[in-house]
Structure 1
Amino acid sequence: MSHLTPTPPSYDTFTPTPYATPYENPGPTPDDRAAPAGAAPLFLIVDYNLSRIDEVRHLAERARARHGARVVLIRAEPGDTDRAVADEVIDLDPLRPDFAVMGEKLLTARRDRIRAGIVFSDNAVHSGADLLHRLGVPVDAPHLAEGAFSKYHYRLAESLASELLRAQGVMTPAFTRIASLDQLRRFAAEHPAGFVVKPSAEGNNRGVVAVRPGDDLTAAFAEVLPYLDGGVICEELIPHAREFSFDGLGDLEFLTEKVSATGRYPVEIAQVLPAALAPHEEATLKRAGRLANLLVGQCHGPFHNEIKLSDDGREAAVVEPNRRPAGMRIWALARWVYGIDLHHLWVDTAFGGTALPDRLTPGCEAATVMLGVSHDVSFSPADVPPGADPFADAVAATAAHLGLGEGELTVTEFSWLAPGRRELHAVARDNADFAAQGCVVLRSPRTGIRPVVHALREAWTHALDRVLAVPAPARKAR
């Protein structure tokens, strides 16, 4: 594959353009002529997380433009946004025990028109794959997909293959399912160096608590009580400090570096692409990532496996596997860094016959950075005065601090994480504790993207505090 150097899109702080195409879209081919609604092929999208609606829109547009398909979206309690994105919406909860059976009944009359389908949420990774399989749509193994939804089931799968995994340099942490404080205390006694307690199936680092020697076990258990009905597990603390993700689609793969907070709440604060690794470290991570894919049945679809790496780079441990595209805009970062649109490739491979590139060459560095607050506060994006742009201010301050020249550090995306008012903690407990997230691209020999991440997060809190300190009359005058 020849490398493409993307051109940054126009940037608007309050109206982000998260999927501005970094290279010219060739448009529909002669075979893309739209068919009548009653004869057009159908493309199924099974569920998604609300924060990823822009990605669903991007996928739907590709299915229509490239493959002449009508898009059917299946999710629980669909709203107007869903109806605006899809040609048809089916109200069905992927967590229903009979989801696949009901979905098959609803779509049986049109199954001869269903040409392709994808599963786009953790909640649907098992039931959605089962539905597509029942409808005769190519999909990765449904019966192994439970390991990509339940952290408990994944650890069970690991335990069955533990001897093989350890021989390949993959640590398999001890684990147990708990339902009481006494069970947590027993696990703590067996693992005095520390452990993690977390929900069996929950995303965005919600409910994950690292418990270290001397910590209050009662307080730790109280934090996971809301997740007890869905299952809670304790895991031996993985001793490796560095964390990465093994990302990709089918056989196409790349490694992303995760930057996490230290302390009680190990939340993600940034994702960096490409990861800075020695050849033997890259080999260790890819080996662990491929083995995780094997355990959860991934073959042709997307994956995002979170993996920790030892200091010497010889041992890895899988934090959790995912049979879906990465969050934190990692696929968007890949567009800037590698000049490749993984969402388009996902749709095209679902329809069959598309060859994936065998090599990715980075043309720059990029990062998604989580942006918090300097102190515990009740915050709404409406608190920011009209016309103020704290993210642009923070990026400019970061560039000046690191001695970067004009155009060496550019903004590609910015978005507030929620439109309403929320109580935010200065020490984020999960990703919902951040005010916003932004993506930047670095093209400079002067520094690397990692110093940019830390400088930008600090500059952001100062910039946000400055605009929030503007008196109300002055805000109205702007």
Structure 2
Amino acid sequence: MPLRAPVLLIVDYNLSRIGDVLHMRNHARERWGAETWLIRANPQDHDLQISDRVIDADPLAPDFVAQALHRLAGDAARISAGLVFSDNAVASGAALLERLGLPVDDAARALAAFDKLAYREAEQAIAPLLDRLGVMLPDFQPIECVNDVRNFALRQERGFVIKPACEGNNRGVVMVAPGGDCEDAFAEVAPYLDGGVLAEAFIAYTREYSYDGLGELWFITEKVSATGRYPVEVAQILPARLNPQERQAIRLTGEQVNRLVGQRIGPFHNEIKLSDRDYHTAVIEPNRRPGGMKIWTLAKAVHGLDLYAAWVDSVFAAAVPRELPDASCSAATVMFSVPQDMTLDVSGLGAIDSLVEDTLTRAAQTLAMASADITLLECAWIAGESRLIHAIPRDNSDFVAHACVALHDPRVDIRDLVAVLREQWQVVLNRSLACEQPLKVAS
């Protein structure tokens, strides 16, 4: 009787990661001869296309572990390795893998990597240590009603941020300036009250980075965010330009965050601000997953290491490299917006690749560089069905498309390329829109 294939169990994922799950499934099959099983709530046809078996179980359900074990039944013994691939599953998924006897980061501490209020409370528990490391802990408060917002505002001289405790992709994050409208801010986060809402003092440090990695391997990514009411991320840049003291400050902070949330062998993406002087830091939030906005895709282009493959290898007990190879180029993920509030159906705009390639050509001309020195790694529409898209994005779903690009001309600053790409995209998109039927423009 032939031996059955070993199994890699992936616990949940976000839809933006479909391609990453497929890549890991293929790597597990080719390198380890393994099947890939996927657990997620209400699986759809696309889940069956990227895995060998799908188990229907909701990682946010109180009885998730029991539910998953019941549905796996005797087949649980076939599972050789497992990984958790979503914020929603970071705690319950780790608990399931622990029950299965598989290596995984600490389930007991995982809540702090999902719930922003739980993380702030964990920070407070080691406040003296963080203070010695130069980590600033912002004032914070749980929000249950508009009076909580008003009372918190009274003690904030520089304004504050109000945000959901358990949401990603910058959803629901609102900046409130000094003297700002507390009622309006509360109304924006009211839909998230069931999952928890908190207010935090505004962190005035202007530079933001993420401490990214897998196991002991780490690197730092530079973030470009919008200013104003909605501080959404408009680009991620690799490698981050930092001097040795700045790198060390971010690394020390990132390692403390990993200890707080129980990370040891898995992936991490900790968002950290850095002061303009004195090498002080402040944590925006931790994550026990690969960074969003294609950060691991950038890492592969810049450093030549496939971190998704390394993650799969690591759960099958292969060693993870402790360092990335030296950078061979710079790279960025760039988010593209619309020129004005509009209801848009991108299906009439044609292939995204053509529009982005046109944008890259125009950007190269603007920066007086060779087009061949900008490589398009990947691109995609973000907007799907016809819907309202805001010109000033309120969260990551308010962008219409994204592109990952590598820059091979060392004379050009990657940040300048990001800015020019975003400008030239507007020109290209406007030209394409002019060829289409009149769009419904929001009043």
Correspondence for 1:344: 309
**SS of the residue 2:109 aligns to:** helix
Q: Take 2:14 and 2:53, find their aligned partners in 1: how far apart are those partners?
A: 18
* Correspondence 1:395 to 2:365: no
* Correspondence 1:194 to 2:159: yes
**SS of the residue 1:170 aligns to:** coil
- Give 1:446 deviation, angstroms: 2.2
Correspondence for 1:260: 225
Q: Where in structure 1 are there 5+ consecutive unaligned residues?
A: 1-34, 474-478
Change (3 A) 1:217 1:282: same
Q: Is the 8 A contact 1:366 1:439 kept in 2?
A: yes
Q: Among 126, 133, 138, which residue is 2:91 paired with?
A: 126
Change (3 A) 1:459 1:97: same
* Correspondence 1:69 to 2:20: no
- Give 1:181 deviation, angstroms: 0.5
Correspondence for 2:64: 99
Correspondence for 2:55: 90
Correspondence for 2:422: 457
* Correspondence 1:242 to 2:207: yes
Q: How many residues align?
A: 438
Q: Take 2:44 and 2:189, find their aligned partners in 1: how far apart are those partners?
A: 30
* Correspondence 1:49 to 2:14: yes
**SS of the residue 1:438 aligns to:** strand
Q: Is the 8 A contact 2:352 2:380 kept in 1?
A: no
Q: Among 284, 288, 302, which residue is 2:267 paired with?
A: 302
**SS of the residue 2:90 aligns to:** coil
**SS of the residue 2:372 aligns to:** coil
**SS of the residue 1:109 aligns to:** helix
- Give 1:405 deviation, angstroms: 1.6
Q: Where in structure 2 are there 5+ consecutive unaligned residues?
A: 439-443
TM-score if structure 2 supplies the norm length? 0.96
- Give 1:394 deviation, angstroms: 1.2
- Which has the larger displacement, 126-135 or 213-222? 213-222
- Give 1:421 deviation, angstroms: 1.1
**SS of the residue 1:171 aligns to:** coil
Q: Among 163, 172, 187, which residue is 1:207 paired with?
A: 172
* Correspondence 1:367 to 2:332: yes
Q: Take 2:273 and 2:325, find their aligned partners in 1: how far apart are those partners?
A: 23
Correspondence for 1:27: none
Q: Is the 8 A contact 1:404 1:446 kept in 2?
A: no
- Give 1:112 deviation, angstroms: 2.9
The one-letter code of the counterpart of 1:298 is Q
* Correspondence 1:428 to 2:414: no
* Correspondence 1:283 to 2:248: yes
Q: How large is the Cα RMSD of the aligned pairs? A: 1.5
- Which has the larger displacement, 455-464 or 418-427? 418-427
String of CA shifts for 1:386-443, please: whole Å, max 9, x gaps: 6982211111111111111241112111100132112111111111100000011101
String of CA shifts for 1:42-65, please: whole Å, max 9, x gaps: 110000001110000011111111
- Give 1:381 deviation, angstroms: 1.3
The one-letter code of the counterpart of 2:238 is L
Q: Is the 8 A contact 1:388 1:467 kept in 2?
A: no
The one-letter code of the counterpart of 1:132 is L
Percentage of identical aligned residues? 50
Taking CA–CA contacts closer than 8 Å with sequence separation of 6 or more, which of the two structures ends up with the larger relative contact order? 1
The one-letter code of the counterpart of 2:284 is V
Change (3 A) 1:355 1:48: closer
TM-score if structure 1 supplies the norm length? 0.89
Correspondence for 1:332: 297
- Which has the larger displacement, 98-107 or 443-452? 98-107
Correspondence for 1:5: none
Q: Take 1:227 and 1:313, find their aligned partners in 2: how far apart are those partners?
A: 37
* Correspondence 1:383 to 2:345: no
- Which has the larger displacement, 412-421 or 85-94? 412-421
**SS of the residue 1:117 aligns to:** strand
- Give 1:105 deviation, angstroms: 2.7
Q: Take 2:402 and 2:371, find their aligned partners in 1: how far apart are those partners?
A: 23
String of CA shifts for 1:156-213, please: whole Å, max 9, x gaps: 1000011111111111111110110101100000112211100010000000011111
Q: Is the 8 A contact 1:108 1:135 kept in 2?
A: no
Change (3 A) 1:186 1:134: same
Q: Take 1:387 and 1:76, find their aligned partners in 2: how far apart are those partners?
A: 31
**SS of the residue 1:239 aligns to:** coil
Change (3 A) 1:395 1:163: same
Counterpart mapping for 1:301-320 below 5 A = 301-312=266-277, 314-320=279-285
Q: Take 1:470 and 1:62, find their aligned partners in 2: how far apart are those partners?
A: 42
Q: Is the 8 A contact 2:95 2:107 kept in 1?
A: yes
* Correspondence 1:408 to 2:369: no
* Correspondence 1:358 to 2:323: yes
Correspondence for 1:28: none
Q: Take 2:24 and 2:51, find their aligned partners in 1: how far apart are those partners?
A: 10
**SS of the residue 1:466 aligns to:** helix
Q: Take 1:344 and 1:279, find their aligned partners in 2: how far apart are those partners?
A: 29
